[in-house]
Amino acid sequence: MPEMSPQEVTQLLADWGRGDRSALDRLFPLVHSELRRIAQRQMNQERAGHTLQATALVNEAYLKLVGQQEFEWQNRAHFFAVCAQVMRHILIDHARAHRRDKRGGGAIQVSLNDVAVIAADQSSTVLALDEALRQLETLDSQKGKIVELRYFGGLSIEETAEVLSISPRTVRREWQRSKAWLYRMISEGTENETRPLAKSR
């Protein structure tokens, strides 16, 4: 992987913020490997008693890639957004690989009374959630962003608000309704149920 200077990374983040999709394609592997490296190191850390924290990890990755002196709010927000996407990508990727194909037709059963299903089969849930999230994104991109940052990026209400430059109150209200919508979409099944499983590479 080619090394990139903090300035270049900052530039890419700014470009992406302005809507340059190709900037994300270049940022993505960079962030991916950095997150991975840090997570790996933290998990291997000799000193135990350490809990991995989303924000801490992302902040560390940010400092590593962008640098302290370049600390600029806008860039940091973009960086968080990239990280959330990376997380989502990793999760979906693995969930697909893990998902068994014995559930006929791929229908996901989520009973109204049983939210605990979430924990029971994480792979299916992650995939179902991703499916529902895509649907939600097409209907309301802001809600989609909020879910991505909150769920996949592990950001708090306040952090999400800062990243999206909206008020925490709005985030809270949108998050509340997003959850209800996602829950409904998962419960009622997504439209795209018979998608093939893990694609061969």
Stretch that binds other proteins, among 10-18, 74-82, 156-164, 180-188 (CB under 8 A): 180-188
Report DSSP letters for 6-70, one per residue. Answer: HHHHHHHHHHHHTT-HHHHHHHHHHHHHHHHHHHHHHHH-SS------HHHHHHHHHHHHT-STT
Task: Candidates 19, 21, 112, 194: give the one binding other proteins (CB under 8 A).
Answer: 112
CB of 15 vs other proteins, minimal distance in Å: 25
Task: Candidates 59, 122, 142, 156: give the one binding other proteins (CB under 8 A).
Answer: 122
Report DSSP letters for 86-114, one per residue. Answer: HHHHHHHHHHHHH--S-SGGG-----TT-
Task: Candidates 13, 82, 87, 127: give the one binding other proteins (CB under 8 A).
Answer: 87
Q: Report the site for other proteins in 140-179 (rule: CB under 8 A).
A: 140, 150-152, 154, 173, 176-177, 179
Q: Does 191 bind other proteins (CB under 8 A)?
A: no
Closest CA to 111 of 181, 179, 184: 184
CB of 146 vs other proteins, minimal distance in Å: 12
Q: Does 104 bind other proteins (CB under 8 A)?
A: no
Q: Do 144 and 136 touch, CB atoms closer than 8 A?
A: yes
In the bound state with other proteins, the residue whose beta carbon lies nearer, of 13 and 130, is 130
How far separated are the first and last CA of the chain, in Å rounded? 21
Instruction: Give 127's contacts (C-beta < 8 A, 6+ positions apart).
Output: 92, 95, 96, 99, 108
Task: Find tokens 């605990």 and name the residue.
Answer: 116
In the bound state with other proteins, the residue whose beta carbon lies nearer, of 63 and 172, is 172
Q: Do 135 and 119 touch, CB atoms closer than 8 A?
A: no
Task: Candidates 5, 22, 45, 141: give the one binding other proteins (CB under 8 A).
Answer: 45
Q: Does 194 bind other proteins (CB under 8 A)?
A: no
- Structure tokens of 34? 């950095």
Helices (H) and strands (E) in the chain, counts: 9, 0
Residues interacting with other proteins, by CB under 8 A? 1, 33, 35-36, 39-40, 43-46, 48-52, 54, 57, 87, 90-91, 94, 96-98, 100, 102, 112-113, 115, 118-119, 122, 125-126, 129, 138-140, 150-152, 154, 173, 176-177, 179-184, 187, 197-198, 200-201
